[in-house]
């Protein structure tokens, strides 16, 4: 199981890019923290999620 934004999910074996696509996130408009480290966007496609990982996905929101 992997904790994604505080929710336990069974997504082990997917890459970060696959997770973002499945959940409907635009990878250009989010930041991903994996196990308390910011993951570079260039590594989304090659970083495979493993049991016990913790992921936080943060969207950028504009405002005024």
Residue ranges and CATH numbers for the domains of the chain are: 2-59 (3.10.20.30)
pLDDT at 19 over 90: yes
Beta bridge partners of 33: 38, 56
Look at 15-19, 31-35, 58-62 and tell me which has the smallest mean pLDDT: 58-62
Contact 59, 30 (CB under 8 A): yes
pLDDT at 12 over 90: no
- Region 37-57 average pLDDT: 97
pLDDT at 60 over 90: no
pLDDT at 24 over 70: yes
């Amino acid at each position: 199981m992997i904790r994604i934004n505080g929710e336990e999910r069974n997504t082990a074996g997917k890459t970060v890019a696959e997770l973002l696509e499945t959940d409907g996130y635009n990878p250009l408009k989010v930041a991903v923290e994996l196990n308390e480290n910011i993951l570079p966007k260039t590594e989304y496609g090659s970083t495979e999620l493993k049991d016990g990982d913790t992921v936080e996905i943060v969207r950028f929101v504009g405002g005024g």
